[in-house]
Amino acid sequence: MRGSPTPIRATASRSRASGSAPPRSPTPSSPPSCARPGTSRSPSGPRAPRIIRNVPPDRLVAGSIVFTPPERTASLARADAWWRYVPGADWRHPEGPASDLAGRMNHPVVHVAHADAVAYARWANSRLPTEAEWEYAARGGLDRNRYVWGDAPLVDDAHPANTFQGRFPGHDTAADGHAGAASVATYPANGHGLYDMSGNVWEWTADWYRPDTYARRPPRAVDPPGPSNSFDPAEPGVAKRVQRGGSYLCTDQYCGRYTPDARGKGAPDSATNHLGFRIARDAAGR
């Protein structure tokens, strides 16, 4: 490996980031799913400011996207039933202006756009891990196992990661001990001593997203770099970065992407309350 992701994840108490960039629209054209927050940015750099028409002025304010469990049974085909744009939501106010970080200083920092994560990593003399580095680190020395801890979903009848139990999206029973995000290192580390490589919050990587990334690589590529551009056939023209690890919203009822092989995707300027990051540093002498 060119570098090794650190066992220290960005938390609210460590973050010096300035907050997340607001989505391009107060009401995203495609609401984020368990794995897919979305808005857009060009892979070649920021685009010119976009004029947003027919939006009430009181909605043209900075904010972010927040998971809001519906009170009634919701169709899993309508992700906008549990995601809403909240003015004033940011990493200091995870659910909006009325919320704060009290009791959450060791939670992973959320509402962080990709540029924010990159800026923090540079401040810390680090970088974001590539997708290949992230998966290597997540597997913790295991080879093709289903989960980062092995092949069984439970370990000694206990949940080894923070995911969603109950009926998604409206009722999380917190059988794993938490409904929503948990403090970093609440659950056991993997074989490399890294915490939260599965569940809790999604993590940005350095790589652009393409669905054919692995098909375009040699069968036994060693420490492969990511693609030079992004393409998502589900939203052509919307450039996205790879997200990994899954979150506290992952469930086999809807999105089971808390396994080390699963990939998420999101536009670099998008931010939600189930998305964070971790940093990596090159090994000494490399």
Q: What is the mean pLDDT of each run of 10 residues along the chain (286 residues)?
A: 45 42 34 38 44 73 93 88 94 97 97 97 97 97 96 96 96 96 97 98 98 90 93 95 98 93 96 97 80
Are the beta carbons of 179 and 199 closer than 8 angstroms? no
Torsion 120-103-80-97 (CA) sign: negative
What is the structure's pLDDT at 221? 86
Q: Decide the pairing of beta strands 63-67 and 241-244.
A: unpaired
What is the structure's pLDDT at 219? 84
* Distance, CA of 230 to CA of 241 (rounded, Å): 8
C-alpha distance from residue 24 to each of 44, 89, 182, 263, 271 (Å): 17, 15, 29, 24, 11
Token couple for 159 = 């949940």
What is the structure's pLDDT at 9? 58
Task: Specify the DSSP element, H or E, that contains 122.
Answer: helix 114-123
Q: What does pTM read for this prediction?
A: 0.83
* Distance, CA of 247 to CA of 227 (rounded, Å): 25
Measured in degrees and rounded to the nearest 5, phi and psi for residue 63 equal -175, -160
* Distance, CA of 281 to CA of 2 (rounded, Å): 9
Q: Where on the phi/psi map is residue 111: left (φ > 0), alpha (ψ -120 to 50), or beta?
A: left
What is the structure's pLDDT at 3? 39
Q: Where on the phi/psi map is residue 161: left (φ > 0), alpha (ψ -120 to 50), or beta?
A: beta
What is the structure's pLDDT at 55? 76
